[in-house]
A and B are shown apart, each in its own frame.
Chain A
């Protein structure tokens, strides 16, 4: 079977190319080509976004920072703006997979792949990120956590294109962290990962908490109960233990080679407590 390769130079051109049957976006190919090699996905046309201008920039204003969908993970890990505004996110990008994955994989490709064990959706959802999407029926903005409907099932039409992710700037007295638990190889997917973003009041109590878990459900999970446990309390050991229990009971992982469901549930609680703890502003840490 012939595989067509298209390399449009405008966003409209790309949308047009995607109208053909069995067309798929090529945005680095890390996951896509793997699926093709395994015979699990057989597109008729690949539409590369590499030549579409404006998709690989990082820009900031006084409210937010915008990450272009075609930025590679390596680029974002090293981006001076992101490192200043959201250092935990930059560190997350620096820890994805291995150097080959980071050099080829892109932010947009990663989010559109809708794999709940990927790192970016977990951290970026914790940071209240939103995804900009364009398509023939108009533009829309969706929260990062809503980009997946299920494993490998993005909430996107085949002719829609992710163009950027917008991260609001962090509030005063806030901290973020991303922890992934890797009991196997260092370049494996996480057994469980937690993105955390906590805002504190002047007394050091949590004013607002957002915790998101990866690899423990069909999509990334925003931990409502876990966040609620923290709100209004300082991060003392009792509160962190209550968080551990709440998260353990909130997630619904399945057993696989990275761990049994029970183990993953317990680890989700422990990693969440550690991630929350790591969000303390430097001055508040013991």
Chain B
């Protein structure tokens, strides 16, 4: 490896002071703030394709280059085909000969100020020859000879099983002969659920600053996986990994959006070319049109009962993956949509299959609970329908069939909790759903150093806005029996010396938190246990002095590998909603909500509650309010004025309760980030059915859907 001479780390992005309050005080600094303080900076604006599917004939930048203040224009022809992707490299940094969705980056303009860059980007004249598009699943599976990725087999990460041209990936979970099992059932029902596209919608748009003057490259970016960003930049910009320093940078929200190098590669190349530092920041229209969307598609569930037991379950999911698979991390190129419906119940035989297909739409990504959101909606909706078939109360039906002690405890608590809600007049209903959240796979190393003034935890994972560093500090303070103020978290950005899988997949608390605890226990091995006679407080100071050493350094490891005995156990939840429905308009109002959680160890009570409340609101917003409209490949809801997120007035009163099942759960770190959001849609659909007797099988659930459903059965007001 090349020798590294890193630029000195500026104090602006290392978190040596109490950082926890900065999130709410406005003092926290993000990539765009770094840009504001960088002199000689150039600003980049991208030229986005206006065509959903076209051959790229010509990119004429003469007019843009003639605009005063424009320094450089970069096109795909300039840099050639450079493909990025998490498990499949199929996404060009800049389009070269074809565009596959409206919004794809075609060229980049660097200018002295952002306004000039954007103005010049609008002046770049791109000539297209439109090609036949595939807009939706009907198109993809219809009669045509369109192959969106004819060279798919040559992509890095490509697999051999490629039954047809526009398949992104497939996934299967089968544990028996489902046809034989269905033949033994005494009742079978089949339902198809359809879900529309929603956006990850983090508050902070993607942003970066790249300085490639000289020998080394400095990068500040909102990317949540700094180690992979560095490797990607090295690969795609033909640089040695050791040349690239990804500085620790705060991230203002992620929700699955902040993992792809949409901006950074081009900024690096433009910085090399211009010998100026270069910054880019997406507009929110660019965010909505080009960054992670939840996969739209459909999920057909067929489930059979035999003597009251769930005997056979079949699922078939078809998802629109959009123009590129690149931003999905799973090797299957299918979001985690299988195995979640009926996950909390005893099912004799399962046969679940899913596929993702290419289309000329914005690429699908891993939006908070990427497939669980859709599949738990379908599964927990169908559980209610089966309960109705059996003439059983929905909670009792679930209680009789769950195999999970935590879910049993949650259902008992929900039953007791909603009992006082009952009898509240006509067109009022209650719906419940149960669900679970598992920490993702990954490994992280945390370095801990005890000095006379405090303990420093060095971590690779960036705080994406969840306040995870506050959790690490609390964990260390508890493990070492020292004041929280004596623990400092130092973010290091990308660094090959500390393994880190980045933020995501509800992994951070369980994996990095465990690494913090492991590091602290190793510190205790070195220092010896705290001694009450030493007077408490920050006791390691006196201990180090007695040991005659200025500091002690150790490393701790945390990991999760699903399927292993030591894997992090799931967190379970249950949600009950009470709604009233206006039969004349179909409008429904959620009057109250109760979320019951069976948690592991609650390391940071404020952060824990924040994840539950935030998850609930996120789920509510996506279940009811959000819809990213793309018509004929063109983004229609192109601003936050049209793509509406929940506001505070939309949030009903939420009561949160905990249940404990087994004393051992109190010591285990588990996942919670992608728990609460997935329960809202099914609980709501179940509540609406309970109120007015119509079943909504589409997401988002709107008043117009309910009105249409009431009309179709002649039950409107």
Contact = CB atoms under 8 A, between A and B. Distances in A.
B452 interface: no
A258 to B, nearest CB: 9
A183 B642 contact: no
B627 A185 contact: no
A252 B639 CA distance: 26
B203 interface: no
B704 A187 contact: no
B585 A185 contact: no
B158 to A, nearest CB: 37
A257 B636 contact: yes
Interface in A218-276: 257, 259-260, 263, 266-267, 270
Contacts of B704: 183, 259-260, 263
Contact of A1 (B119, B122, B584, B642): B119
Interface stretch (B76-84, B350-358, B525-533, B646-654): B646-654
A270 B629 contact: no
Given A38-B285, A257-B642, A187 B122 contact: no
Interface string B639-665: 101101111011000000000000000
A181 interface: yes
B245 to A, nearest CB: 34
Given A1-B119, A183-B702, A185-B644, A257 B629 contact: yes
Interface string A16-37: 0000000000000000001000
Given A38-B639, A259-B704, A187 B649 contact: yes
B118 A39 contact: yes
Contacts of A183: 585-587, 702-704
Interface in B558-588: 584-587
Nearest to B118: A39
Nearest to A188: B644
B220 interface: no
Nearest to B645: A185
Contacts of B627: 257
A184 B642 contact: no
A98 interface: yes
A267 B650 contact: no
Interface in A120-167: none
Contact of A39 (B122, B585, B646, B650): B122
Given A38-B285, A259-B704, A260-B704, A184 B625 contact: yes
A192 B704 CA distance: 13
B63 to A, nearest CB: 15
A83 interface: no
Contacts of B119: 1
B637 A185 contact: no
Nearest to B587: A183
A270 B636 CA distance: 28
B118 A34 contact: no
A38 B584 CA distance: 38
A38 B646 CA distance: 22
A270 B629 CA distance: 27
B91 interface: no
Contacts of A188: 644
A181 B586 CA distance: 11
A109 B80 CA distance: 50
B135 interface: no
B647 A98 contact: yes
Nearest to A269: B584
Contact of B585 (A98, A181, A184, A186): A181
Interface residues of B, number: 27
Contacts of A259: 704
Contacts of A1: 119
B707 interface: yes
A267 B585 contact: yes
A259 B707 CA distance: 11
A34 B641 contact: yes
Nearest to A259: B704
B118 A185 contact: no
B109 to A, nearest CB: 14
Nearest to B702: A183
Q: Summarize A's interface: helix, strand, loop or mixed.
A: loop
Interface string A167-204: 00000000000000101111110000000000000000
A270 B587 CA distance: 12
A115 B393 CA distance: 49
B644 A184 contact: yes
Contacts of B587: 181, 183
Interface string B232-269: 00000000000000000000000000000000000000
Contacts of A38: 285, 639
A103 B118 CA distance: 30
B649 A186 contact: yes
A240 to B, nearest CB: 12
B650 A186 contact: yes
Contact of A185 (B636, B639, B650, B707): B650
A185 B584 contact: no
Contacts of A270: 584-585
Nearest to A186: B649
Given A183-B702, A257-B629, A257-B637, A263 B118 contact: no
Contacts of B641: 34
Nearest to A257: B629
Contacts of B707: 263, 266
B647 A186 contact: yes
Contacts of B584: 270
A266 B119 CA distance: 44
A22 to B, nearest CB: 16
Contacts of B285: 38
A215 B143 CA distance: 40
A119 to B, nearest CB: 15
A62 to B, nearest CB: 39
A192 to B, nearest CB: 10
B119 to A, nearest CB: 7
Contacts of A257: 627, 629, 636-637, 642
B605 to A, nearest CB: 30
Interface in B663-717: 702-704, 707-708
Nearest to A3: B115
Contacts of A187: 644, 647, 649
A186 B647 CA distance: 7
A185 B646 contact: yes
Contacts of B122: 39
Interface in B577-633: 584-587, 625, 627, 629
Interface string B501-543: 0000000000000000000000000000000000000000000
A38 B640 CA distance: 12
Contacts of A186: 647, 649-650
B173 to A, nearest CB: 36
A249 B645 CA distance: 32
Contacts of B636: 257
A188 B650 CA distance: 11
B258 to A, nearest CB: 23
Contacts of A98: 647
A181 B645 CA distance: 17
B629 A185 contact: no
A185 B625 contact: yes
Q: Which of A1, A34, A183, A257 has the most CB of B within 10 A?
A: A183
Contacts of A184: 625, 644, 702
Interface in B118-159: 118-119, 122
7 contacts: A1-B119, A39-B118, A39-B122, A183-B704, A185-B646, A257-B629, A259-B704
Given A183-B587, A185-B645, A257-B627, 20 more contacts: A1-B119, A34-B639, A38-B285, A98-B647, A181-B585, A183-B585, A183-B702, A183-B703, A183-B704, A184-B625, A184-B702, A185-B625, A185-B644, A185-B647, A185-B649, A186-B647, A186-B649, A257-B636, A257-B637, A267-B585
Report the 9 A-B pairs with minimum CB-CB distance, sorted nearest first: A186-B649, A183-B703, A185-B644, A263-B704, A187-B647, A270-B584, A183-B587, A185-B647, A259-B704
